[in-house]
Every structure is written in C-alpha cells, then in structure tokens.
A and B are shown apart, each in its own frame.
Chain A
Amino acid sequence: MQAYLTQLGHIAPELVLTLVALVVLVMDLVWKGRDSKRIGYITLGGLAVTAWVLWNQWRTLGDTNGALAETAFGMVTVDRFGTFFKLFTVGSLAVVTGFVLADRRERKHGIGEYYFLLLGAAIGIFFMVSTNNLLLLMLGLELLSLASYSLAGFHKGDKRSAEAALKYVIFGGLSAGVMLYGISLLYGMTGTLDLNAMGRGGTQGYPVGLAAQFLISPVPVALAIVLVLAGFAYKVSVVPFHFWTPDVYEGAPTPVTTFLAVASKAAGFAVLLRFVGSLFLVDGVHEAVAAYGEKVGLLLAVLAAVTMTLGNLSALRQTSLKRMLAYSSIAHAGYVLMGLAAMTPEGFTASIFYLAAYYFMNLGAFGFLLYFEGVTGSEQVDSLKGMGWRHPVVAWSMVIFLVSLTGLPPTVGFYGKLLLFYEGIDAGLGWLVVVAALNSVVSLFYYFRVAKVMFLTEPEDAVRTTQPALAGFLAILGALTVVTGVVNERLRTWSDDGQASLGIPQDAARR
C-alpha cells in the first residue's frame, strides 16, 4: 500500500495536470460554455501548480543523480530529462493559453474544450517524454495526437481548418500504424518493451535482446528501427515525412499551430532522443547494438542534411508568413537532428539546448503572427508593410526572434547553433556542419524579408487596431530570447543535467 502511494507521488505532475483538465471540462459544463475567460484563468492557475510540482521534482532528482533508481509502476521513468521537457511544455502551454486569452479574434473560439484539449495533449506529452517503455510511449504519443487532431479542426466553419484536421488525422493514423508495426517487430525479436533491456540484452541479467537477433539476421532489426524512426520523423516533421506540416500549420488556428510547432515537436524530439539514447548509447549496451547505433547515426545525419535543405529552400518561395514559419520549423528539425546524429552525450546536450532555444524563439514568432492576423486580418508577408513603425514593440520583438531563428548573436538561437556545430565537428560530421552553415545563410534571406517589409516599406492603409496584452507577451519573450542568449550558463547546465540522467556514459576527458 505504502509502496503504491510512493509511486503515485512520482507521477504527481501528471496527476495534477489530469485533475486540472477534468476541472476545466466540468466547469465549462457548469458555466454552459458562456464564460471561457474564467476557464482560461483556471487553466493558467493549474499550469502554475503543475510547474511548481515539477520544479520540486527537479530539485529532488538532483539528490539522486538525476534519475530515480526504480520506475513508477514499472512504466514511468522519472528523471531530469523528462522533467526538463515537462517544464518547458508547461511553459509553452501557459504562453499558448495566454495567446488565446489575449487575442481578440481567438476569444470567440476559446470555449472550454479548447483548454481541455490542450491540457489533454500536455498529459500525453508528459507520459511520452518520461518512459522507456514502448507501450506507454505509444499511448502518450496517441493521446497527444488525438487531442491535436481535434484542435487542428477547431474552427468548425472554416474549410481550411477542417482540411488541416483531416490531413493530420490521415497522415497521423498512417504513421502511428507504421510505428506500431515497428514496435511489434522489436517486441517480437526481444520479448521486452523496455528500451534499456533491448539494447543491453544478454548482459546484466537480461535474457535476450537485439544483440541475439543480430546473430541470426540484422534485416528485421533494420526494418523495425526504420519503421519506428519513421513514426518519430512524422511527429517532428523530418523529410520525407514532412508533407503534412505546411498544410496543417496553415489551416489550424494560430494558437494551435503554435502548440503543434513548439510543444508537440519538441516532445517528439525528446522521445526520439530517449529512444536513440536508451537503445544504442546507454551504459552497458551490447557491442553489436552499439555498432549498429553508428549506422543509425549516419542515417540521421543524412536525414538532417536533407531536412534542413528542403525546409529552407521551400521557405524561400512562401508569401504567407504562416507557411514560411511552417517550412522554417521543418528546417529547424534538421538542425536539432544534427546533434542527435552526432551520437555523443555532448551532441545530445546541444540538441536539448537548441530545443529550449526553439521554445523561446518559435513561441515568439508565432505570437507575432497571431498579433498581425488580429490587426490586418491577413497572414501574407506583404500585408505587414510599414508595420514596424506602427507597432514598434511587436515589430522589434519579431526582429529579435528572426535574428535568433537565423542563428546570429546575441540571441539564444546563436548559442544553440554554435553548440550544435561544435559538437557536430567534434563527432566527425564536418560535412553536415558545412551544409547547416550554408543553410543558415539561405535562411537569412527569407527571415529578413519579413523585417524588410516591416521597416523599409511605406504603410498602405491606416490600421489602428492594437492588442496590448499580446504585445506585452511578445516583448517578454523577446527579452528572454536576448537574455538567455547572453547569460545561458544556467540553461546549459540544465540541458546537461537532463542529458546526464539518460544514463549515457560520459566522456571523462571532455568534462
């Protein structure tokens, strides 16, 4: 009995979030959907409580070397890696909730289910980032996906929103099936769903593992790994599974797009990092599996190069800011994948740091999009003409986000890219770093076209609408982007702590 309660304590953040989601749903029914603002405030309060619980967990985990020795109910691995991403998920969810509350157009859609579905998606993220068990991972992923599908189609009367939801469901269902097939193959070959046990196999008392399968034939292993990676690649929109991204991002309501592009994508990367780390790199992994990990790293490197190039080249041609940001998020998936392809603990740290930077700058960029959709009623880059002089705070914040997205100092995006490039070269992926650097130059062109249109053209008509609350949000995010770009020792340490709790043997010489 006591043991069960202790284990429940380990998943306290998930429990709190579930409770908040249920309260939001019930209160929406009690108030008959009339008072969506109050429900938004309840959501924000619940997120604050969850963040507090998570922060306590993070500090407690510091005493236990970053990860609990045992897992909760044999499923949930509580470690600093998961808590890191949970904290950022809560943060980005709070910002998205703030966007919905602050935007004057979005408010009429902001009924209780909106917040309930966002919270449901967050619960999915919570479980999927903190498990080594493929079954729970899949469940969390599906919970996130199902909530995202309905969120993408939230503007019921809007044709594009419905189209986005349908495309998302069909692509998502297909990729979930592919991934489940891969997982079932892995399970069939190893007899376990635990990633660590699969990789270690034969050593440390685990009966079978992937290593045993390598003795017979490596083909089923390759098939299973590729199928599972395809499922992840869909979630984080890596080429060639990126087709849904621009259409869904464009059709979905902008706060939902923000959630999909930031929280959902970063969670997908968190799971990918844990999958690759726990299967191929973790302490005590079998030699045959570790050797195979090198090949997977090469595959990821090629995918990274293709993804960033295709994302950036497609973004060049976009006239819609929303589609441009969608392609830019594909390109950024390529950059993050670079740290993963390095297959070193330091590369993982760089990826985690870059994802943290990605939270700041992409939340800001999509917030800017929401602001100007509210002001001009359009998402075209051309409609931003002269807006820099009309809305200086928002426009200058956007310039900061653009500088950060391009990867120029003094922003957090610069430092993140620096880390990625450094670790890439260190892992012997010099060619990939050259490709990434060239891509950054290309991205400079389309990011700064936005700044050019805002500041160097004359305003066309006198639009006088403003959204002060949203502008305040953006200013804070902009300030954070610059501050973390200059003073990032703390964030760097946190990323390193998160990575260290994955159990990858650290290179003593590099510390």
Chain B
Amino acid sequence: MYFDYLSVLVFAAVGFVFVFANMILASILRPKRKSSEGLETYECGEEAIGDAWVQFDIRYYTVALVYVVFAVEIAFLFPWALVMKDAVADTGAAAGSGIGAFVLVEGVLFIVILFLGLAYVWAKGDLDWVLAWTGSPYQPPTQRPRLKLPSVQELSAEPEAAEEAAGEDESSGSDEDAAA
C-alpha cells in the first residue's frame, strides 16, 4: 500500500532536481557583469537593505491584487469550460441534464462580476502607472542618506497638539486597560 505514495516521492524528487538543475545551468550560461544594481537582493520591487521606514510604492501592490483577481478567474474558468463542453456535446457527467444554457449564463455572470471589479479599479485611477511622481532619480541604497528619525527625547519634548490636526476624536483609554 505504500506504493500509493510513490508518486509523491517522484514529484518531490523532480521538483528538487528541477530547481537546482536550473540554478546550476543558469550560473554556467549567464553573462557575468557585476554592477551595483545587479548585485542587489531583489524582493518584490523593494530594496531589501536599509531602513524599514521608507515610503514604498503602493502601486505595485494594487496591480498585483488586480492580477490575482484575474489569475483566479482563469483558474475557475478552466473547469467551467470543460463542463460547458460536456453540456454542449451532451456527453460525460452533463449528459442528458440539459444544463447548457444554465452553465453559459452562470459563466457569463461570473465574468461580468469580475469585470465590474476591473471597471472599478479603472474608474478609480488605480491602473495609471505614472501618478504624480516628484521624487529624486534612483540612487543605490549605499549612497543614499539615511532617514533621520527623531529620538525618544525629541519626541517627548514635542507638544502633542500636532497629533490632532485632523480634528477627529481624541485617543485615550488605551493605556488604562492594559493592567485590567
């Protein structure tokens, strides 16, 4: 009975070999030009080294989210298309059920709802990649001046009035209940 799991083992082995074979192959084949940009650690378009208190670009994540929506759409549409094919040809699991029209309407509704999402993102301007960009041109992180953060003494010396510029509610009570 343990041979049932042989396929899992084969799958794991192939996966393992696939990753390392590709990395070794790439290290043999790729050109070796070492520039400061090329040697940076790459992580989702953000700089991995340096202060955590940088302003990072939110546009990347909006686009990634929209992408995920449509990736999921495709994942749903493949099985739907198979059922649709069966229903139209009147074969397989859908034979004799007469659900062709139902399946078609269902699929169209699904796509329409997802496109509403796209229309929403579009109308709200989240698809415009170039927003008002006024920052400085790119500098590698080693040469960039570090962001100077105020120390605890400086922070406590500051009056608290600036915090409530928005004119909303006061924040309090969060200290008292810690002991309770």
CB of A294 within 8 Å of the partner chain: no
CA–CA, A26 to B97, complex, Å? Answer: 35
Contact with A along B118-157 (1 / 0, CB 8 A): 0110010000000000000000000000000000000000
Contact flag A1-B123 (CB < 8 Å), given A317-B177, A319-B172: no
CA–CA, A378 to B98, complex, Å? Answer: 62
**Complex partner residue of A29 from B101, B120, B168, CB under 8 angstroms:** B120
Are the C-beta atoms of A378 and B169 separated by less than 8 Å?
Answer: yes
Residues of A within 8 A of B180 (CB): 313-314, 316-317
Minimum Cβ distance to chain A for residue B174 (Å):
7
Residues of B within 8 A of A26 (CB): 116
Contact with A along B150-180 (1 / 0, CB 8 A): 0000000000000000101111111011011
Number of A-B contacts (CB under 8 A): 57
Are the C-beta atoms of B173 and A318 separated by less than 8 Å?
Answer: yes
Chain B contacts with A in 14-64, Cβ cutoff 8 A: none
CB of A72 within 8 Å of the partner chain: no
Are the C-beta atoms of B116 and A246 separated by less than 8 Å?
Answer: no
Are the C-beta atoms of A323 and B99 separated by less than 8 Å?
Answer: no
CB of A194 within 8 Å of the partner chain: no
CB of A157 within 8 Å of the partner chain: yes
Residues of B within 8 A of A373 (CB): 169
Are the C-beta atoms of A1 and B99 separated by less than 8 Å?
Answer: yes
Are the C-beta atoms of B169 and A377 separated by less than 8 Å?
Answer: yes
Closest residue of chain A to B97 (Cβ to Cβ) is: A1
Residues of A within 8 A of B101 (CB): 1
Are the C-beta atoms of B168 and A158 separated by less than 8 Å?
Answer: yes
Q: How many residues of A contact B (CB 8 A)?
A: 30
CA–CA, A273 to B22, complex, Å? Answer: 53
The A contact surface, by secondary structure, is helix
Are the C-beta atoms of B168 and A155 separated by less than 8 Å?
Answer: yes
CB of B113 within 8 Å of the partner chain: yes
CB of A22 within 8 Å of the partner chain: yes
Chain B contacts with A in 82-107, Cβ cutoff 8 A: 97-99, 101-102
Residues of A within 8 A of B170 (CB): 378, 380
CB of A37 within 8 Å of the partner chain: no
Are the C-beta atoms of A22 and B169 separated by less than 8 Å?
Answer: no
Minimum Cβ distance to chain A for residue B22 (Å):
31
**Complex partner residue of A320 from B99, B119, B172, CB under 8 angstroms:** B172
CA–CA, A5 to B101, complex, Å? Answer: 12
Minimum Cβ distance to chain B for residue A3 (Å):
8
Q: How many residues of B contact A (CB 8 A)?
A: 22
**Complex partner residue of B176 from A158, A160, A250, A319, CB under 8 angstroms:** A319
Residues of A within 8 A of B97 (CB): 1
Are the C-beta atoms of A29 and B119 separated by less than 8 Å?
Answer: yes
Contact with B along A351-394 (1 / 0, CB 8 A): 00000000000000000000001000111100000000000000
Are the C-beta atoms of A319 and B168 separated by less than 8 Å?
Answer: no
**Complex partner residue of B177 from A4, A5, A157, A246, CB under 8 angstroms:** A246
Minimum Cβ distance to chain A for residue B17 (Å):
29
Are the C-beta atoms of A250 and B174 separated by less than 8 Å?
Answer: yes
CA–CA, A377 to B167, complex, Å? Answer: 9
Minimum Cβ distance to chain A for residue B5 (Å):
15
Are the C-beta atoms of B177 and A1 separated by less than 8 Å?
Answer: no
Are the C-beta atoms of A323 and B102 separated by less than 8 Å?
Answer: no
Are the C-beta atoms of A379 and B169 separated by less than 8 Å?
Answer: yes
Residues of A within 8 A of B168 (CB): 155, 157-158
Minimum Cβ distance to chain A for residue B86 (Å):
15
Closest residue of chain B to A32 (Cβ to Cβ) is: B123
Closest residue of chain A to B179 (Cβ to Cβ) is: A317
Are the C-beta atoms of B123 and A29 separated by less than 8 Å?
Answer: yes
Closest residue of chain A to B101 (Cβ to Cβ) is: A1
Residues of B within 8 A of A155 (CB): 168
CB of A142 within 8 Å of the partner chain: no
20 contacts between A and B (CB under 8 A): A1-B101, A1-B102, A4-B102, A22-B113, A26-B116, A29-B120, A158-B168, A246-B177, A250-B174, A314-B177, A314-B180, A316-B180, A317-B177, A317-B179, A318-B176, A319-B172, A319-B176, A327-B177, A379-B169, A380-B170
Q: A317-B179, A327-B177 are in contact. List 10 more A-B contacts (CB 8 A).
A: A4-B99, A22-B116, A26-B116, A29-B119, A32-B123, A250-B174, A314-B177, A318-B177, A323-B173, A379-B169
Give 7 closest A-B pairs by Cβ, nearest first: A320-B173, A314-B180, A317-B180, A1-B98, A29-B123, A323-B173, A4-B102
